[in-house]
């Protein structure tokens, strides 16, 4: 159970870190999640009633979830999407509202596809690391994340503010609120 919550928290933290332009943090969280999933699957196949197995199965995912939350709470980079989303023009309109609808739809489709990649990767890692069919069933935990990633990725893509729009905007932008 802690593994599934760790993966959910980690995926949310990866999305937040990417939106805040903290790519190395997102890559680190993804690597830690991948290693913990493989490790827990390998340890779970030969679980013994000793303290080290219990710590590994329950403790490692909880620590990774805590570190993921800490990394995602760090402030965004100045030119990140997180900051651009809140940018407004001198009339108080959001910059994203000035984008044509077809571009927004295209970015929504791309975002939906990219949103499914972490869950698909999680499922592939579990399937490759598992030796028995019982261990492979852990990959079914990724199915709901496919749908969540599709919806979240599509929403982020629809509301995406490209750097070109923020830079080409005339006049100084209104103060950014974080």
In whole angstroms, what is the distance from residue 155 CA to residue 152 CA? 5
169 in a structural domain: no
Residue 140 CB coordination number (10 Å): 10
127 in a structural domain: yes
Mean of the pLDDT values across residues 2-11? 77
Residue 128's pLDDT band (cuts 50, 70, 90): confident
In whole angstroms, what is the distance from residue 129 CA to residue 26 CA? 22
177 in a structural domain: no
Question: What pLDDT shows up at residue 178?
Answer: 46
154: containing domain: 2-74+100-160
Question: What pLDDT shows up at residue 47?
Answer: 58
Is residue 61 over pLDDT 70? yes
Instruction: Outline where the chain has alpha helix (H).
Output: 2-19, 23-45, 51-54, 60-73, 81-85, 101-129, 133-136, 142-158, 163-168
Q: Which position has the higher pLDDT, 163 or 24?
A: 24
26 in a structural domain: yes
Q: pLDDT tens digit string along 26-42?
A: 888 888 887 777 777 66
User: Number of folded domains in the chain?
Assistant: 1
171 in a structural domain: no
115 in a structural domain: yes
170 in a structural domain: no
CB 130 within 8 A of CB 136: yes
Which sign, positive or negative, has the C-alpha torsion 21, 25, 27, 30? negative
Q: Mean pLDDT of all residues in the chain?
A: 76
- Token code pair at residue 100: 């044509």
């Amino acid at each position: 159970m802690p593994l599934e919550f760790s993966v959910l928290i980690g995926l949310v933290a990866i999305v937040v870190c990417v939106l805040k332009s903290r790519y190395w943090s997102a890559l680190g969280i993804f690597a830690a999640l991948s290693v913990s999933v493989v490790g827990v699957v390998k340890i779970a196949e030969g679980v013994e009633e000793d303290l080290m197995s219990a710590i590994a199965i329950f403790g490692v995912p909880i620590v990774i979830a805590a570190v993921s939350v800490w990394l995602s709470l760090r402030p965004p980079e100045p030119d990140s999407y997180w900051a651009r989303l809140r940018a407004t023009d001198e009339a108080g309109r959001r910059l994203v509202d000035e984008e044509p609808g077809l571009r927004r739809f295209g970015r929504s489709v791309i975002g939906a596809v990219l949103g499914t990649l972490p869950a698909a990767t999680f499922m592939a890692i579990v399937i490759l690391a598992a030796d028995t069919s019982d261990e492979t069933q852990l990959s079914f935990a990724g199915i709901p994340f496919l749908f969540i990633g599709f919806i979240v990725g599509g929403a982020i893509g629809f509301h995406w503010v490209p750097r070109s729009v923020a830079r080409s905007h005339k006049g100084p932008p209104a103060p950014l609120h974080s």
